[in-house]
Each structure stands twice: as C-alpha cells, then as structure tokens.
A = this chain, B = another copy of it.
Amino acid sequence: MLYTSEALESVIENLSRLPTIGRKTAQRIALWLLKQPREDAVALAKALVEMKEKIQYCSVCWNITESDPCPICASPKRDRSVACVVEEPSDVLAIEKTNDFFGLYHVLGGVINPLEGIGPDELKIKELLTRTENDELKEVILALNPSVEGEMTTLYLAKMLRPLGVKVTRIASGVPMGSALEFVDEATIARALEGRISV
C-alpha cells in the first residue's frame, strides 16, 4: 500500500475500472478532485447515484429514459410510421444530433455475436418483431454499425422483418463526407459503388 490514505486508494481503484481510464489517469483525477471544493465531488457522486435510480429502459423502444414510454415514443410530433433500429442508446443520440430524422427508434442493446455468446434472444429482436406486427409501422430502417457482426445482424433482421409486410431499408455505407477516395479502404469504396444513386 503506497498511498497514505485508503480513501484515496479506493477512489483511484473505482475510477480506474471505468472505460478509457487507466491507473495513472485515475490517480490524476483523484488528486485533482482533492484540490477542488467539496461540492464538486459531492455533485458528481450525487449525479451518479441519481442516474442509476432514475434511468430505466423505455418499454416501447428500449432506449434509456426517465419516463416510460420515453419522450420520443410519447411525442405526438414524431412520425409513427417509421422506426430506426440501432445497437445502443448512444446511436440514438448520434442520429438525434443530425436533426434529420423524426421517426421512432428501436434499440437492440447490441448485435448478434456468436463468439461472445450473444444470439437473437439476448437482444430486443422479439420486441421489434412484435412491435412491427402490432404498431402502425410502415418502414423499418436498419442503422447498425457496418462491422461484421452489424452486417450479420442486419441481414438476419431483414429476413425476419420482410414477411411482416413492412418496408425494410438500411442506411447507406460509402465514402464519409469530407474524406478523400485515396484514403478510404477498399471495402468502403466497393460498398459506395454498389450503393450508387442517380443524380
């Protein structure tokens, strides 16, 4: 035990468990917090506990929310005929930031990954199918990440959704805006060519 305080050691220990934070950063943050007014540390502690107490999952779209159904599902302004299927709540944030989509969402909670033992039953896929059957959905947009597992899940979902009589689409893959062809990998260029649209 190198530290002169167990309380400090405990904070460093707890902080270094967080993603992106190693032991050195944890030590730096802990010592920094010691220099700040007591209220700062207390505010962070309170926010952490409140978050865990208040946040639940929306029973319709499985996004994180404080009220059920979530503000998006409950909003009369959203287009109820289209739902965008994403992996995680952070993807909802990313799409909402565009201010370009006004439909509903469906958060799967991950993608099918046999190597990690994640099959369709571990995700909110059954809920998506039930919702597609019962709700007034006309289109389901698949917006999973273009990883191997994301692609696999997209194909699986398309196969399951098509018989239900909804239009199933997926977001385009291609050259990112502001990028240059010479710096983009072959798979992306191939996908961009494949998904070409008339101008």
Contacts and interface: CB of A to CB of B under 8 A. Distances in A.
- Say how many copies of this protein the assembly contains: 2
Given A4-B70, A27-B93, A51 B20 contact: no
Given A4-B66, A70-B4, A71-B4, A51 B11 contact: yes
Q: Name the interface size band of chain A.
A: 35 or more
Nearest to A90: B31
B96 A2 contact: yes
A33 interface: yes
A63 interface: yes
Contacts of A72: 4
Given A11-B47, A41-B52, A51-B10, A20 B31 contact: no
Q: Which 3 A-B pairs have the closest CB atoms?
A: A45-B45, A14-B44, A7-B54
- Consensus secondary structure, chain A interface: helix
Given A4-B70, A14-B47, A47-B10, A38 B20 contact: no
Contact of A41 (B11, B13, B48): B48
Contacts of A21: 21, 29
A65 B40 CA distance: 20
